[in-house]
Amino acid sequence: MFENLALSENGFLFDSRTGSTYSLNQTGTFLLRKLIDGELPERLLKLLGSDFEVAEEVAERDIEQFLFRLKDLKITNEQENGE
């Protein structure tokens, strides 16, 4: 599903299908890495909470916004509809 995405440890993301590149912050890199590794979006809240000190409601909102942003940029949406 994410085979077109190359994400470095530093948060540099390359979408080989579109040629677009992005810079992700530490939590964005963490979340997308988990998705690329096969974690379900529903598990992200728990995973983020175990690695970062963050209030649950803040984390929930941030994850929701992050997933929306990925979809808006067609980073995830395109993957789902692409092939």
Partner 1 sequence: MKPITVAVTGLNASDNPAPGVPVIRAIRQGADRECRIVGLAYDALDPGNYMDGIADDVFLMPYPSEGASVLYERIAYVHAKTPIDVLIPCLDAELPAYLKISDKLRALGIATFIPGEDQLNLRSKARFYDLKEKLHISVPKSIAIADTSSIHKLDEQFDFPVMVKGQFYDAYIAYSPMEVEGHFQRIRAKWGAPVIVQEYIPGEEYDVVAVGDGKGGLVGAVPMRKMQLTDKGKAWGGITIRDQKLHDFIVDAMSKLKWRGPCELEVIKSSDSEDLYMLEINPRFPAWVYLSVGAGRNLPWATVRLALGEKIETMPPPEPGVMFLRHSFDQICKLADYEALAIGGEHRRDKEM
Q: In this chain, which of 8, 10, 18, 26 binds partner 1, going by CB under 8 A? A: 18
Instruction: Determine if 50 is a binding residue for partner 1 (CB under 8 A).
Output: no
Number of residues in contact with partner 1 under rule CB under 8 A: 13
The widest CA-to-CA distance across the chain, in whole angstroms, is 38
Question: Rounded distance, CA 36 to CA 66, Å?
Answer: 14
Quick one: angle between helices 44-51 and 26-36, nearest 10?
A: 130
- The footprint of partner 1 on residues 64-83 (CB under 8 A) is 78, 81-83
Cβ proximity to partner 1: between 50 and 81 the closer is 81
Phi/psi-derived region of residue 68, left when phi > 0, alpha when psi is between -120 and 50, beta in every other case: alpha
Chain residues in the site for partner 1 (CB under 8 A): 4, 6, 14, 16-21, 78, 81-83
